[in-house]
């Protein structure tokens, strides 16, 4: 099975493979790497590449079935988020016994939430389009960073103490989250 790919050479130290949103394969390579090494590197990753392409294909199909989000849609989603997310944060902060700072709603492409050292919280407002427990799981995740500023075993135990369904929700988000981002033009 041979895989088509594009090579991008630059001053870097090692080879890496990226699958773009359209499923195409890009190999990032150090200058002067012989083509045969690159080919072997890609060959070894065939299984992973095919699996990733399949996953992206599924996400694109899901995005298509949900339809694109216009500027107007996004405004409405953000408004809904402005109402729902602070309520969720307040609820789980009380359960966990933690404080928090400012809540910001953004349309980030790479993360669903974040928590700064001083307790300011960021959430991707597309979360309110997902099943409610997915939003809950992200809120709980970020608030647990008020106790543990890391992803240690203790951190996940803390999450599961108030949100036992966390692992399933996290898996769901990893599998389906990208579809929501693909709905934005
Ligand atoms: Zn985290």
> Residue 23 belongs to what domain range?
6-66
Dig out the tokens for 42 from the structure: 């890609």
Mean pLDDT of the chain: 95
| Total-model pTM | 0.83
**Cα of 124 from ligand 1 centre, angstroms:** 14
**Cα of 152 from ligand 1 centre, angstroms:** 10
What torsion, rounded to 10 degrees, do the Cα atoms 21, 174, 129, 67 define? 30
Instruction: Provide the number of structural domains found in the chain.
Output: 2
Final residue before a domain boundary, out of 49, 66, 83: 66
**Cα of 131 from ligand 1 centre, angstroms:** 20
| 29 in the same domain as 44 | yes
- Does residue 1 form part of some domain? no
pLDDT score at 171: 96
Q: Which of 117, 161, 115 is nearest to 138 (CA)?
A: 115
**Cα of 113 from ligand 1 centre, angstroms:** 8
**Cα of 115 from ligand 1 centre, angstroms:** 8
Q: What are phi and psi of 143, to 5 degrees?
A: -65, -30
| 20 in the same domain as 99 | no
Final residue before a domain boundary, out of 66, 84, 116: 66
Final residue before a domain boundary, out of 25, 51, 66: 66
92-110 pLDDT, tens digit per residue, is 999 999 999 999 999 988 8
């Amino acid at each position: 099975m041979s895989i088509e790919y594009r090579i991008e050479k630059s001053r870097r130290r090692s080879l890496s493979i990226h699958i773009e949103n359209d499923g195409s394969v890009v190999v990032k390579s150090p200058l002067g790497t012989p083509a045969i090494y690159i080919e072997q590197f890609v060959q070894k990753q065939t299984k992973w590449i095919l699996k990733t392409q399949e996953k992206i294909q599924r996400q694109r199909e899901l995005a298509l079935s949900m339809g694109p989000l216009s500027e107007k849609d996004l405004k409405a989603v953000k408004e809904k988020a402005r109402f729902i997310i602070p309520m969720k944060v307040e609820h789980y902060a009380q359960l966990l016994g933690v404080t928090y700072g400012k809540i910001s709603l953004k349309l980030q492409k790479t993360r669903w939430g974040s928590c700064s050292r001083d307790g300011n919280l960021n959430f991707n407002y597309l979360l309110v389009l997902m099943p409610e427990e997915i939003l809950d799981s992200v809120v709980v995740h970020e608030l647990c960073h008020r106790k543990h500023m890391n992803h240690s075993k203790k951190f996940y135990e803390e999450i599961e103490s108030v949100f036992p369904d966390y692992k399933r929700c996290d898996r769901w988000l990893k599998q389906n989250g990208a579809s929501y981002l693909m709905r934005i033009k």
